[in-house]
Amino acid sequence: MSDNRLYVLIRALSDQYQTAECFAEKLHVSSKTVRNLLKELDKEIKHHGAGVKSKASVGYRLEVYNQDLWDQFFLTSRQQFEQLGLPQSHKERIQYILEYLSHRKEYIRIDDLSEALYVAKRTLTNDIKEIEAILHEYQIELIRRPKHGIKIEGKEVNLRLCLANYVAQNSLTKIIRGSGINVITECVLSCLEKSGYHLSDVAMQSLIVHLFIAVKRIETDHYVLLEEEWLTVIYGQEEYNIAKDIVGKIQDKFQLTFPESEVRYAALHLAGKRTLGDESSNNIVIDHETSEMVIQMLRSVYEAFKFDFSGDLELRMALCQHLIPLKVRVQCGMNFRNPLLKDIKERFALAYAMASQASSIIADRYQKLLKDDEIGYIALSFALALERQNRKREKKNILLVCSSGKGSAKLLAYQYQEKFKDQIKKVRTSNVNSVANVDFSDIDYIFTTVPIAAKVPVPIMEIKYFLDDQDIKVMKKALAQGPSGICERYFSPEIFIAEVPTGSREEILDFMCRHIKKYQELPENFLEAILKREKLARTAFGNRVAMPHPYKALTRYTFVCVGILKKPVWWDDKEVQVVFLVSIGQQPDKELQKFYRVTSKFLLNKEGITELIKKKSYSALQQLLAEVENELEE
């Protein structure tokens, strides 16, 4: 098979029809290219017991008419490509090229690389653009020279961090195959066990990968030269001694010499990955700078979300302990991979948003943005804090609106306090004409016997004057779970923008803010507050979505403006076509957790976002959010 992509297509084909667009996404090529490749593949396999069957408006599927012939051909093809050690997917190809360029000092022509990988030049050119963006994040330059090709240049320490984060995490890559990784694992485990120094499984794997990369780089005379700013990062004598012990064992096993700078580099990795608070650790000393930073983080969360964690000593101590190794990682540009990141974003969305806000304090202190993986770890501490608050959740306050007189309203209030005494703290009463003048700052719901025309900031439940068993059952459920209808509560058709002109991030946000001002009052510094937040933390959510918001609460109530861009744009390090501009209200909102949970689950839904981009309508958003909300309540 002359084209590597044909083998990828074989693996992707099944006996079920799939569209050309589906294959195009997997191969990162155009639909037209896919159709040509499928025709080529059909010719290739027709003598081997199979063919590609196409059906108009439905797609393509694999049709096998001689199973023995096909099985033999498929096995031979797989062995051929495994022997070549070539990447077989877009992700593998990116990792392979990164590793290849890191070991090559000379230029390599795109044509030569295309031939070696059995990949079309156009596809490879697109890959190179993506690789350039990855390298840029680590201050590594991809140099192009006419008639010579490409090569990369950068500091050794940055190159190693890049390799560790984008290459060595994937067990399919050449770099971590073989017995070498097992030897290093044995060296690390024996030294840590002897010293009683504790690392989590993820941290252990990360340290081993970094040490393995160090071995491979030293074998080709590539050494880390630590800069002055790295040498000022504090690690203890304990880390240095353990690093020296580990390096000594590795030197004996691989017959290599590690210079002093490599020992210090290993010590920094140990300090940046340590798990504090376990029984085997020495005294944990939280310095004033760390303690003050945590106080600022909690203050920032309060300003943005109006959740007060200042009295949560458990959260403060957890954040302080987490910040001690985190500060080392941030200053040295290390990334601590988080295997639970996707689940954290979906299940603890509000906690993740709070952690992202809190991380802006760290970003401002060290002038470096935290990666999503690190924010995810901080989010776990906030998730536990929120859970502690939920256990102490206060009873609800309700406003009873009745048109049958003051006496009957008092009687109705008495009935509610008797029937729902475990769930209701306070019942206030009002007639329908006075509802607009009520202070809703401490009101959770309105229960009314008459229709209400005035616009109010809390959910309304229509009731009968005399309660029957079914009414009581419904209301108990409402008081226990809170109101449904996330879309109706926080979104509105007036600030749903079906087509936002493509431009820079600042231009897009300015356009959306000007649109919001047409329908509701905004403070003068609203856009400025959003742009300030953009500088301090990433707001690209993934899945073609960004979720910007002001760095602190500026509007009275929470709302979301949704904008669908005419064309995708790069936002932070991700492609974005849908913007959920969120403004958290200054008024306390007990349903904020539910809002974030529903919204984040929707934003991570690939099919849902694709449908929203396709339909570009508020009704589609309503339906999609309602489906997610119903799914979560089942």
Beta strands at 149-153 and 50-55: parallel, antiparallel or unpaired? unpaired
Q: Can you list the positions of beta strands (E) in 57-148?
A: 59-64, 141-145
Task: Give the pLDDT confidence score for residue 197 in this predicted structure.
Answer: 83
| CATH number for the domain formed by residue range(s) 288-387 | 1.10.1790.10
Residue 523 pLDDT exceeds 70: yes
Spatial contact of 583 and 492, defined as CB atoms under 8 Å apart: no
- Specify the length of the chain in residues: 634
Least-confidence region, from 88-97, 163-172, 436-445, 606-615: 163-172
Domain 90-166 class, CATH top level:
mainly alpha
Rounded to whole angstroms, the Cα distance separating 97 from 112 reads 13
Residue 252: how many other CB atoms lie within 10 Å:
10
Question: Is there a common fold for 90-166 and 288-387?
Answer: no
Partner residues linked to 448 by β-bridges: 401, 462
The answer regarding whether domain 488-633 maps to CATH 3.40.930.10 reads yes
Rounded to whole angstroms, the Cα distance separating 287 from 62 reads 64
Residue 82 pLDDT exceeds 70: no
Partner residues linked to 34 by β-bridges: none
Whether the CA torsion 184, 188, 194, 200 is positive or negative: it is negative
Residue 47: how many other CB atoms lie within 10 Å:
10
Least-confidence region, from 252-261, 325-334, 388-397: 388-397
Band of the pLDDT at 318, cuts 50, 70, 90?
confident
Provide mean pLDDT across the span 338-361: 88
Least-confidence region, from 196-200, 318-322, 518-522: 196-200
| Cα–Cα separations (whole angstroms), residue 41 to 24, 38, 79 | 15, 5, 18
Task: Give the pLDDT confidence score for residue 554 in this predicted structure.
Answer: 92
Residues with Cβ < 8 Å from 464, sequence gap 6 or more? 449, 471
Provide mean pLDDT across the span 40-53: 89
Task: Give the pLDDT confidence score for residue 599 in this predicted structure.
Answer: 87
The answer regarding whether domain 178-273 maps to CATH 3.30.70 reads no
The model's pLDDT over 101-124, given as tens digits with 9 standing for 90+, comes to 988 889 999 888 887 777 778 888
| Cα–Cα separations (whole angstroms), residue 391 to 310, 387, 388, 537 | 17, 6, 5, 30
The model's pLDDT over 125-143, given as tens digits with 9 standing for 90+, comes to 888 998 998 898 888 999 9
| Helices within 441-521 (DSSP H only) | 469-481, 486-490, 505-517
| Cα–Cα separations (whole angstroms), residue 553 to 302, 473, 587 | 9, 36, 9
Spatial contact of 181 and 240, defined as CB atoms under 8 Å apart: no
Band of the pLDDT at 572, cuts 50, 70, 90?
confident
pTM over 0.75: no
Task: Give the pLDDT confidence score for residue 400 in this predicted structure.
Answer: 83
Domain ranges of the chain: 4-84, 90-166, 178-273, 288-387, 396-481, 488-633
Both tokens assigned to 58: 């439905």
Give the residue among 214, 197, 200 at the shortest CA–CA distance from 161.
214
Residue 174 pLDDT exceeds 70: no
Which span out of 279-293, 303-317, 458-472 was modeled with the highest average pLDDT? 303-317
The answer regarding whether domain 4-84 maps to CATH 1.10.10.10 reads yes
Spatial contact of 377 and 544, defined as CB atoms under 8 Å apart: no
Rounded to whole angstroms, the Cα distance separating 215 from 209 reads 10
With H, G, I as helix, E, B as strand and everything else as coil, classify residue 422. coil
Query: Could you report how far apart the first and last alpha carbons of the chain are, in Å?
Result: 50
Backbone angles phi, psi at 473, to 5 degrees: -60, -45
Helix (H) or strand (E) holding 55: strand 50-55
Spatial contact of 256 and 212, defined as CB atoms under 8 Å apart: no
The model's pLDDT over 190-210, given as tens digits with 9 standing for 90+, comes to 998 888 888 877 788 888 888
Spatial contact of 352 and 600, defined as CB atoms under 8 Å apart: yes
Both tokens assigned to 577: 């076509």
Provide mean pLDDT across the span 390-415: 71
The rounded percent of the chain whose pLDDT value lies above 70 is 86
Residue 425: how many other CB atoms lie within 10 Å:
13
The average confidence (pLDDT) of the chain is: 83
Task: Give the pLDDT confidence score for residue 498 in this predicted structure.
Answer: 94
Spatial contact of 400 and 417, defined as CB atoms under 8 Å apart: no
Percent of the chain that is helix, strand, coil (3-state, to 5): 55, 15, 30
Task: Give the pLDDT confidence score for residue 261 in this predicted structure.
Answer: 87
Spatial contact of 572 and 605, defined as CB atoms under 8 Å apart: no
Give domain 396-481's CATH architecture.
Answer: 3-Layer(aba) Sandwich (3.40)
Q: At what angle do helices 90-102 and 156-166 cross, to 10 degrees?
A: 160
Residue 407: how many other CB atoms lie within 10 Å:
8
The model's pLDDT over 454-494, given as tens digits with 9 standing for 90+, comes to 888 877 777 765 556 666 665 555 555 554 467 778 899 99
* Number of Cα atoms under 13 Å in the Cβ half of residue 309: 34
Gyration radius of the chain's alpha carbons: 29
Choose between 583 and 401: higher pLDDT: 583
The model's pLDDT over 492-507, given as tens digits with 9 standing for 90+, comes to 999 999 999 989 999 9
Single-letter residue type at 604: L
